[in-house]
Amino acid sequence: MSVTGLLFESRVAGKQVVVSFDGGRLSSDGGLLLAMAEERRLGLIQRISECLEDKRDASKVRQSVTTMLTQRIFGVLCGYEDCNDFDALRDDPMFKLAVGRSPEDGRARTGDTVAP
């Protein structure tokens, strides 16, 4: 018996996440699926972000504190120890899912705003 793929549910735009081995939109950070499931269950990042005061000018805010914390914490979990990797990772489909964005177009799905 061979495994051709795994199916996970995503809360992003009603999309299904299919893990397969045939190419397509690729990410080397598939372990984020497990981290996302645990975060959804525990809600730690959301609770941490609620403890932080956001003193930024709201008219210039492009990412919520929760989104930035999620990106940073999941980045560290995946071995990206500093923030210089996120210029490339912003197009990674797993990191888009992790912060509640569509892996295809990156549009916000959780109320955050995303710059064009």
43-95 pLDDT tens trace: 999 999 999 999 999 999 888 899 889 888 988 888 888 878 877 777 888 88
- How confident is the model at residue 111, as a pLDDT? 47
Q: Is 8 exposed, middle or buried (0-12, 13-18, 19+ CB in 10 A)?
A: middle
From residue 47, give the alpha-carbon distance in Å to each of 12, 32, 53, 58, 60.
20, 19, 12, 20, 23
More confident residue, 84 or 14: 84
Residues 21 and 19: their CA atoms lie apart, in Å, by 7
Cα dihedral value 90, 92, 95, 100, nearest 10: 80
- How confident is the model at residue 2, as a pLDDT? 46
Q: What is the mean pLDDT of the chain?
A: 77
User: What does the pLDDT average to over 6-32?
Assistant: 69
More confident residue, 27 or 40: 40
Instruction: Give the number of other CB atoms < 10 A from CB of residue 42.
Output: 10
**In the chain, domain spans:** 29-110
Alpha-helical regions (H) of the chain: 32-42, 44-50, 65-77, 86-89, 93-98
pTM recorded for the entire structure: 0.64
- How confident is the model at residue 1, as a pLDDT? 42
Tokens at 64, concatenated: 């919520």
